[in-house]
């Protein structure tokens, strides 16, 4: 049965399709961004009072679409930033899709429902492509990350260290921090020396006694004068 139930030509077509799908999907996504921005710019420019507003009618939708793509795929810059099913990119793409649909309805309402349906369908197709690419990118990033034991160990140590740091900060904030003790002055040192209990003939006691006498003599000693008249 080897090779009987397998269409080699079909398998080769699938392999070629898989080879071009990544570039094709990103190309289609960028194309939907640009086309959506240009369509909204054209309809916005219909009511532009001057050339400045006409230029802004195209620049604002282009900037919105560029920002949308950045927000959706931004966290893929760092493989260690593990994303779940409801990642920030999916939430951002969905929220911006809702805003784009509302904008399309408000701008295209005077031109009929056919334009609203066409532009909304284009935006929905772009959103579906975004979500599919984002999920495949997250899966590919995780497979690349977990394929190497050393890399996975580094990621695990990082998250453990970060959890310990957060717990440490929480423990510190939950307790009262001790007040800083002011530095001891000469008077405090002398008082502590005076209050020391007698130690007999111990060498440390003799040293403290000499230090006490030195400090007392330093207070009684006049301040040295300086100048030419000395």
* Average pLDDT score, the chain: 78
Residue 18 lies in a domain: yes
| Average pLDDT of the residues in 202-216 | 63
Say which DSSP state 221 is in: S
pLDDT bracket for residue 215 (50, 70, 90)? low
Residue 224: pLDDT over 80: no
The pLDDT value given to residue 223: 46
Give domain status of residue 3, yes or no.
Answer: no
Choosing from 95, 127, 147, the residue where a domain stops is: 147
Residues 97 and 208 in one domain: no
In a domain, 115, yes or no: yes
Residue 79 inside a domain? The answer is yes
Question: Which one, of 33, 102, 19, lies nearest residue 73 by Cα?
Answer: 33
Q: What is the pLDDT of residues 140-154, one digit of tens each?
A: 877 877 777 777 788
- Residue 84 gets the label, from left (phi > 0), alpha (psi -120 to 50) or beta, of beta
Shared domain check, 116 and 66: yes
Same domain, 94 and 204: no
Is the pLDDT reported for residue 228 higher than 50? no
Across 78-82, 120-124, 221-225, which has the greatest mean pLDDT? 120-124
- Largest Cα separation within the chain, whole Å, is 121
State the average pLDDT over residues 45-63: 90
- Average pLDDT of 122-127? 92
Burial class of residue 58 (count of CB atoms within 10 Å of its CB; 0-12, 13-18, 19+): middle
Please, which contacts does 17-25 make with residues 24 or more away whose CB atoms are closer than 8 Å? 25/129, 25/132, 25/133
Considering the domain architecture, whether residues 138 and 198 belong to the same structural domain is answered as no
177 within domain boundaries: no
- What's the pTM? 0.61
102 and 193 in a single domain? The answer is no
What is the tally of structural domains in the chain?
A: 2
Same domain, 114 and 206: no
147, 177, 197 - which closes a domain: 147
In the structure, what pLDDT confidence band is assigned to residue 123 with cuts at 50, 70 and 90? very high
Instruction: Give the pLDDT confidence of 98-111 residue by residue, as tens digits.
Output: 999 999 999 999 88
**Residue 171, in any domain of the structure:** no
Domain termination residue (choose one: 98, 120, 147): 147
CA 145/CA 155 separation, integer angstroms: 9
* Range(s) of the domain holding residue 215: 186-219
Same domain, 212 and 140: no
Asked if the structure places residue 163 within a domain, the reply is no
């Amino acid at each position: 049965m080897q090779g009987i139930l397998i269409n080699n030509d079909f398998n080769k077509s699938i392999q070629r399709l898989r080879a071009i799908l990544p570039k094709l999907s990103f190309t289609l996504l960028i194309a939907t961004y640009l086309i959506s921005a240009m369509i909204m710019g054209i309809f916005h420019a219909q009511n532009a009072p001057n050339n400045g507003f006409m230029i802004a009618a195209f620049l604002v939708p282009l900037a919105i679409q560029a920002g949308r793509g950045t927000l959706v795929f931004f966290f893929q810059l760092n493989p260690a930033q593990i994303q779940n099913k409801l990642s920030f990119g999916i939430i951002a793409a969905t929220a911006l899709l809702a805003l784009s649909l509302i904008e399309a309805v408000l701008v295209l309402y005077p031109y009929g429902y056919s334009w609203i349906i066409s532009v909304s369908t284009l935006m929905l197709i772009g959103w579906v492509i975004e979500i599919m690419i984002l999920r495949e990118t997250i899966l590919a990033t995780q497979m690349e990350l977990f394929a190497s034991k050393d890399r996975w160990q580094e990621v695990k140590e990082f998250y453990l260290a970060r959890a310990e740091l957060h717990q440490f900060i929480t423990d510190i904030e939950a307790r009262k921090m001790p007040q800083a003790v002011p530095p001891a002055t000469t008077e405090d040192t002398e008082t502590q020396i005076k209050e020391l209990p007698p130690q007999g003939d111990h060498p440390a006691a003799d040293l403290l006694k000499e230090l006490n006498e030195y400090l007392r003599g330093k207070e009684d000693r006049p301040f040295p004068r300086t100048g030419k008249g000395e």
